[in-house]
């Protein structure tokens, strides 16, 4: 298998998607911020010094998805039809789960936009709570599923925790 972002000489290149069909594309990604019980308490009570942690993370994720091509070299600019970012309190961890659903009608997928949305959402949680817990961990950022394009639907192997995932119709 060859890497699509390398030319015959091994140089990085932007993939030519001009001949691909325009199709409805959707990607769902997730990530986690694990934190101390004290930090989780601040987030749950809404008493973090910087304000509404979940709301800020959700908004930051949406804003980031729209700027993916500026952040990731060789990504195409894509007009996004919809970006939804959901932050969910997970008391059993304790922490916050961030899930992003991105949709577009385009010639290329939106996995990178979903991953960027989740990453920046998680980073925003970290930034807003770091005064309480500098030992937080951001982890498990991954694509859960994608659909559209020539290859159709793909889902991550293993069980999916869909409690915060928007239903894709």
64 part of a folded domain: yes
Q: pLDDT of 41-75, one tens digit each?
A: 999 998 878 889 999 999 999 999 999 999 998 89
CATH at residue 128: 3.30.70.640
24 part of a folded domain: no
Task: Tell me how many domains the chain contains.
Answer: 1
The 3 state secondary structure assigned to the chain is CCCCCECCCCCECCCCCCCCCCEEEEEEEEEEEECCHHHHHHHHHCCCCCCCHHHHHHHHHHHHHCCHHHHCCCCCCCCCCEEEEEEEEECCCCEEEEEEEEEEEECCCCHHHHHHHHHHHHHHHHHHHCCCCCCCEEEEEEEEEEECCCCCCEECCCCCCCCCCCCCC
Q: Does 127 qualify as catalytic in the annotation?
A: yes
158 part of a folded domain: no
131 part of a folded domain: yes
Query: Looking at 127, 133, 135, 161, which residue is catalytic?
Result: 127
32 part of a folded domain: no
Residue ranges, the chain, pLDDT below 70? 1-3, 5-7, 13, 16, 18, 159-169
Q: Write down the pLDDT at residue 5.
A: 64
In which domain, by residue range, is 139 found? 37-148
7 part of a folded domain: no
68 part of a folded domain: yes
Note the pTM of the prediction, 2 decimals.
0.87
85 part of a folded domain: yes
């Amino acid at each position: 298998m060859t890497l699509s972002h390398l030319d015959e000489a091994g140089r990085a290149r932007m993939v030519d998607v001009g001949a691909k069909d325009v199709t409805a594309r959707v990607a769902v990604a997730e990530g986690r911020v694990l934190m101390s019980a004290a930090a989780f308490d601040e987030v749950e009570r809404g008493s973090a010094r910087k304000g509404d942690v979940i709301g800020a993370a959700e908004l930051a994720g949406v804003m980031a998805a729209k700027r993916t091509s500026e952040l990731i070299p060789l990504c195409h600019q894509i007009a996004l039809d919809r970006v939804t970012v959901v932050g969910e309190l997970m008391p059993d961890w304790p922490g916050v789960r961030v899930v992003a659903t991105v949709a577009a009608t385009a010639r290329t997928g939106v996995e990178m936009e979903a991953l960027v949305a989740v990453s920046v959402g998680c980073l925003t949680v970290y930034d807003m709570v770091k005064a309480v817990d500098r030992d937080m961990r951001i982890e498990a950022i991954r694509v859960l599923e994608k659909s559209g394009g020539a290859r159709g639907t793909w889902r991550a192997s293993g069980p999916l925790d869909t409690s915060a995932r928007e239903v894709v119709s």
